[in-house]
């Protein structure tokens, strides 16, 4: 990823989102730009127009944290956007290195044991590229459609943007795609020389118009808690809460666990899902698509 173009496009896109009224400025006369003008951002950030113009041209090298904080406030950046700006500034002053491949990060046995101990909640570990690197049994059952693709490692973004079955399985696919693109953009800011990540972004950009549109928006986000909705081919509709927890001892890895309130249809569906998964022949690579489990609820 070209750091200078990324800085330029990120700052330009954030500036375009803020109206003078939102910034507390009087809007007067004809405006040829969408959002704030460069000189208005400079004034709000407390820097000269020339200095801000240099930053927006892609040069964050040497910018102090205080200046970046002021710029983040002027552009009304949220926490994920501010963190992305700091990541871009951190890599701005480094000498460009050849893109390097990242071999699949091994999962420590203790982490797999932790996943396996979570027998009543689907859980998995992913990296910043959105590869699913490990699951427990219920996590494998919940994400069963993704594991039918022979490409490894299983990748959430590739499935969401390229698999025609994603729209049926992920009932809020547009929202999940937007999240995936924003998470990949965030990861690219943190690790711009990751060749595997660049290859994935290139593949998605080439093959998916939806991804190209979302990627061009330059949105970033943190994704730690929320709701996921599925229509599983074996048990029907599930609405599950999730918590995504970074693993401090394994930088770059995130443990995601999903759950349902007791005595709810989703809780019953998870029990049914576990029963269905236990009936599969996991040594048979030709395992057919799941039959409708008894008690499945249709949409």
What are the boundaries of each domain within the chain?
A: 3-92, 109-278
Phi-psi region of 230 (alpha: psi -120 to 50; beta: other; left: phi over 0): beta
Integer Cα distance of 31 and 29 in angstroms: 6
> pLDDT tens for residues 9-60?
999 999 999 999 999 988 766 777 789 999 999 999 999 999 999 999 999 9
For the chain, give the mean pLDDT: 90
Under a CB-based contact definition with an 8 Å cutoff, are residues 297 and 265 in contact? Answer: yes
Q: What is the pLDDT of residue 286?
A: 44
Q: How far is CA 87 from the centre of its chain?
A: 16
> pLDDT tens for residues 170-216?
999 999 999 999 999 999 999 888 999 999 999 999 999 999 999 99
Question: Where is pLDDT greater, at 289 or 245?
Answer: 245
126: pLDDT confidence band, cut at 50, 70 and 90? very high
Integer Cα distance of 192 and 100 in angstroms: 10
Under a CB-based contact definition with an 8 Å cutoff, are residues 236 and 255 in contact? Answer: no
Q: How far is CA 253 from the centre of its chain?
A: 13
Task: Count how many residues are written for the chain.
Answer: 299
CATH code at 3-92 = 1.10.260
> pLDDT tens for residues 64-87?
999 999 999 999 999 999 999 999
Fold of 109-278: Beta-Lactamase (3.30.450)
Integer Cα distance of 74 and 269 in angstroms: 47
Query: Residue 70: helix, strand or coil by DSSP?
Result: helix
């Amino acid at each position: 990823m070209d750091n200078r173009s990324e800085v330029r496009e990120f700052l330009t896109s954030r500036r375009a989102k803020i109206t003078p009224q939102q910034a507390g400025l009087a809007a007067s006369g004809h405006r040829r730009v969408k959002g704030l003008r460069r000189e208005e951002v400079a004034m709000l950030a407390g820097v000269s127009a020339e200095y801000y113009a240099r930053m927006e041209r892609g040069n964050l090298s040497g910018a102090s944290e205080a200046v970046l904080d002021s710029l983040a406030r002027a552009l009304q950046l949220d926490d994920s956007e501010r963190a992305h700006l700091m990541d871009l500034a951190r890599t701005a002053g480094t000498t460009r290195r050849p893109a390097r491949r990242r071999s699949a990060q091994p999962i420590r046995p203790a982490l797999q044991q932790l996943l396996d101990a979570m027998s009543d909640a689907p859980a998995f570990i992913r990296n910043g590229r959105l590869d699913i690197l490990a699951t427990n049994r219920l996590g494998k059952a919940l994400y069963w459609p993704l594991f039918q693709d022979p490409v490894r490692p299983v990748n959430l973004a590739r499935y969401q943007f390229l698999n025609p079955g994603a729209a049926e399985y992920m009932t809020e696919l547009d929202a999940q795609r937007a999240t995936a693109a924003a998470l990949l953009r965030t990861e690219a800011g943190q690790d711009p020389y990751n060749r595997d990540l660049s290859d994935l972004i290139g593949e998605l950009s080439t093959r998916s118009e939806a991804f190209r549109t979302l990627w061009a928006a330059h949105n970033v986000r943190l994704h730690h808690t929320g709701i996921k909705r599925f229509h599983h081919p074996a048990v029907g509709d599930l609405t599950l809460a999730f918590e995504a927890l970074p693993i401090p001892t394994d930088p770059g890895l995130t443990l995601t666990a999903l759950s349902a309130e007791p005595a709810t249809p989703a809780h019953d569906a998870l029990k049914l899902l576990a029963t269905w998964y236990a009936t599969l022949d996991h040594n048979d690579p030709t395992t057919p698509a799941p039959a409708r489990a008894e008690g499945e609820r249709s949409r």
